[in-house]
Amino acid sequence: MDQAKGKFNNIKVSIIGSGIIGKSNAFKLSDYGFNITLIDQNEIHNSSNAALGILMGKIYQKRTGRSWILRQKSSDLWPKWINILQNYNSKLRIEKPLLQLTDDLKKIKKLNTFANNYPYDDLETVEANSSILNPINKMFKGNRLQGIISHQDGRINPRVLLETLDIALKSKNIKKINNQVIKIEKNNNKIWNLKLKTGEILNSEIVILCNSLDSLNLINPEIYGIKLKPVIGQAVEIFQERENTNFLSLPKIMNINGKNLITISKEKMIIGSTDEYNFKPEEYYINELFEFLEYKPNWLDKKYISRKWFGIRSRPEGEPSPLLKSLEKGLILCSGFYKNGILLAPACSDWVLKEIKKHI
């Protein structure tokens, strides 16, 4: 690593977008001595801040292809990253395990077969008579939920993660500019000029576009054949004070019939998320967060919503998510994280580092 440091010391890298992907790239590259600048104009409202932070790595059933490779890599890297990041914030951790449950008999069978096929991945079958199901059956009365436990998957609180990365980046002297990049172009010396909204020009050898949907505004998408569409994700927190309701009796992180549930306290639970192919969140889709079971428990009702929020993600059209591409010398695209951006961040940062090495 020290050898690498010397090699990349004077190379300027500009990262546009400071969501989880931009910050993770900055964090990874900072170990190699690059001269890094991270630019973002409005990170509070990005999709990373809206995320639930669930890590679905080992629980992913399709065990071939790029998506699996990225998940596998990230599942290995996250514990290592957390170890390092805990030096900056001891509160950061991965909460485990993740329970995937369903009342669909066909899916239960498929999940069981899957768990049995991968005995070394810490996947445990939850049979109908398993004691783990007692509190779940109590709270989700009437629904015959079964499934699997993934002991290596779980959740990272995204807000804590983003804050921790900020602390780490600051201590590593990564420059952060609170501004919008409105134009990028290559000058005659083959250096990239980045024009900021306030008129300043930055230059750098390497530009990494981590600005999700807005990356399309800085490049000519037709030249590179890139299409991205917006996908809104809404999530809610419910607050329920009934005496017989105690969310803490439930496993902390569950995926039930495709919806993610996170226990926050005795009275609070987060449920997410929707997939809306639009720029504006629609109230109508919130119903999906309450209508995913055959028998709806009383506490699972829209009237108990105490907080709701959304984020806009970008989904590639005509090719799988995410888009990891070198567009031309010194210009790298790291976008289209329609889902799983939190999970995939370390693996994608690894890819970016390898790609940069090809450019210099």
Residues in touch with ligand FAD (CB under 6 A): 16-22, 39-43, 46-48, 50-54, 180-181, 210-212, 214, 233, 235, 260, 272-273, 311, 313, 337, 339-343
What tokens appear for 22 in the block? 């931009």
Judged by CB, which is closer to ligand FAD: 19, or 330? Answer: 19
Cis peptide before 346 (omega within 30 of 0): no
CA nearest neighbour of 297 among 232, 249, 331: 249
| Residue number, 126 or 289, with CB nearest to ligand FAD | 289
Q: How far is the C-alpha of 75 from the C-alpha of 53, rounded, in Å?
A: 13
What is the biggest distance separating any 2 CA atoms in the chain, rounded to whole angstroms?
71
Smallest gap from residue 276 Cβ to ligand FAD (A): 10
Comparing CB distances to ligand FAD, the nearer of 133 and 313 is 313
Amino acid at position 70, single letter = L
Is the separation of the CB atoms in 310 and 52 below 8 Å? no
In whole angstroms, how close is the CB of 91 to ligand FAD at the nearest point? Answer: 19
Q: How far is CA 248 from CA 51, 90, 144, 307, 329, in A?
A: 21, 23, 20, 19, 52
Rounded to a whole number of angstroms, the minimum distance from the CB of residue 106 to ligand FAD is: 25
Q: Which is nearer to ligand FAD, 23 or 32 (CB)?
A: 23
Complex with ligand FAD: residue 102 or 273, whichever CB lies closer: 273
> Which of residues 35 and 340 has its CB atom nearest to ligand FAD in the complex?
340
CB atoms within 10 A of CB 163: 15
Helices (H), the chain: 2-8, 20-29, 47-50, 65-85, 105-117, 133-139, 158-171, 221-224, 283-286, 341-359
Instruction: State the minimum distance, in angstroms, from the CB of residue 293 to ligand FAD.
Output: 20
What token pair was written down for 262? 């996170």
- Minimum distance from residue 5 beta carbon to ligand FAD (Å): 26
For residue 53, which of 126, 213, 188, 160 has the smallest C-alpha distance? 160
Contact 302, 286 (CB under 8 A): yes
- Quick one: 37 or 46, whose CB is closer to ligand FAD? 46
Instruction: Provide, rounded to whole angstroms, the least separation between the CB of residue 69 and ligand FAD.
Output: 16
Peptide bond into 273 cis (omega under 30): yes
Dist. CA 171–CA 159, nearest whole Å: 19
Minimum distance between the CB of residue 141 and ligand FAD, rounded to whole angstroms?
27
* Residue number, 205 or 313, with CB nearest to ligand FAD: 313
Least distance (Å) from ligand FAD to the CB of residue 115? 21
**Measured from the CB of residue 165, what is the shortest distance to ligand FAD in angstroms?**
11
Nearest CB to ligand FAD, comparing residues 111 and 342: 342
Phi-psi group of 124: left, alpha or beta (phi > 0 → left; psi -120 to 50 → alpha; rest → beta): beta
